[in-house]
Chains A and B, each alone.
Chain A
Amino acid sequence: DTAVSQTPKYLVTQMGNDKSIKCEQNLGHDTMYWYKQDSKKFLKIMFSYNNKELIINETVPNRFSPKSPDKAHLNLHINSLELGDSAVYFCASSQGVTINNEQFFGPGTRLTVL
């Protein structure tokens, strides 16, 4: 069974469009995350949700909005897409927010903005 899944795996779209990436985890975790991996493979956290509450919001443009309908899902909505949004986006989950908790990652969504 897939622990953390993301859809779609690939997303190609035009500048200015609005798109969403979905994430689901079946591990029973209560904390979920979104990371952005740029073209140089650098991974940076974007958001973290614990029990449906936002607990981290790094300096991410407000065009990006995470939405968590329940503990098992954390979707990422992106408005007015820009070229610089092209990256691989990873969802992750963990049990709790304590710093020794392992994070389990999804397979990633490669977003290409043309």
Chain B
Amino acid sequence: AQSVTQPDIHITVSEGASLELRCNYSYGATPYLFWYVQSPGQGLQLLLKYFSGDTLVQGIKGFEAEFKRSQSSFNLRKPSVHWSDAAEYFCALNNNDMRFGAGTRLTVKP
């Protein structure tokens, strides 16, 4: 069965520090993976997606993610976090229906 796991419920980083949010998936075939961000009181916005090809994908707002089949991971990264990045981040896998991870809440310290 397909599933998505985000091991970290809550992460706090200082502004300007680098960020990595973890995502692991369970799926038998090539996964179609997404990262979404949800700002407080807002809907979900797509940051980036992976289908095939280059395993390092670039997204909006300076985010990138790397697909590693051997580790069943699709971690989200940003070199330097801004205060406005504070939000909830969801990893998702799509196989006829979108399965979301439980989310990681990012807090940014000044």
Residues of A within 8 A of B (CB): 4, 33, 40-45, 48, 56, 58, 90, 92, 97, 99-108
* Chain A residues closer than 8 Å to B38, beta-carbon distance: 41
Q: Are B97 and A108 in contact (CB under 8 A)?
A: no
Is B63 part of the binding interface, using a Cβ–Cβ cutoff of 8 Å? no
Given A90-B44, A107-B42, A107-B43, CB of A99 within 8 Å of CB of B103: no
CA distance in complex: A45, B105 (Å): 21
Q: Are A45 and B43 in contact (CB under 8 A)?
A: no
CA distance in complex: A48, B94 (Å): 13
Tell me the interface secondary structure of chain B in the complex: strand
Q: Are B43 and A106 in contact (CB under 8 A)?
A: yes
Closest 10 CB pairs of A and B: A105-B43, A43-B100, A105-B44, A99-B94, A107-B43, A41-B103, A100-B51, A99-B32, A100-B32, A45-B97
Q: What band does the interface of chain B fall in when counting residues whose beta carbon is under 8 Å from A?
A: 20 to 34
Q: Which residue of A lies closest to B44 (CB)?
A: A105
* Chain B residues closer than 8 Å to A104, beta-carbon distance: 46
Residues of B within 8 A of A (CB): 32, 34, 36, 38, 41-46, 49, 51, 88, 90, 94-100, 102-103, 105
Q: Chain A CB within 10 Å — which of B38, B44, B99 has the most?
A: B44
Q: Are B98 and A45 in contact (CB under 8 A)?
A: yes
Cβ distance A25 to chain B, nearest Cβ, rounded Å: 12
Contact partner, A42, options B44, B96, B103, Cβ 8 Å: B103
CA distance in complex: A104, B46 (Å): 8
Q: Which residue of A lies closest to B93 (CB)?
A: A99
* Chain A residues closer than 8 Å to B34, beta-carbon distance: 102
Q: Are A40 and B98 in contact (CB under 8 A)?
A: no
CA distance in complex: A44, B94 (Å): 12
24 sampled A-B residue pairs with Cβ under 8 A: A33-B98, A40-B102, A41-B88, A41-B102, A42-B102, A43-B90, A43-B100, A45-B97, A45-B98, A56-B97, A90-B43, A97-B96, A99-B94, A99-B95, A100-B49, A100-B94, A102-B46, A102-B49, A103-B98, A105-B36, A105-B43, A105-B44, A107-B42, A108-B41
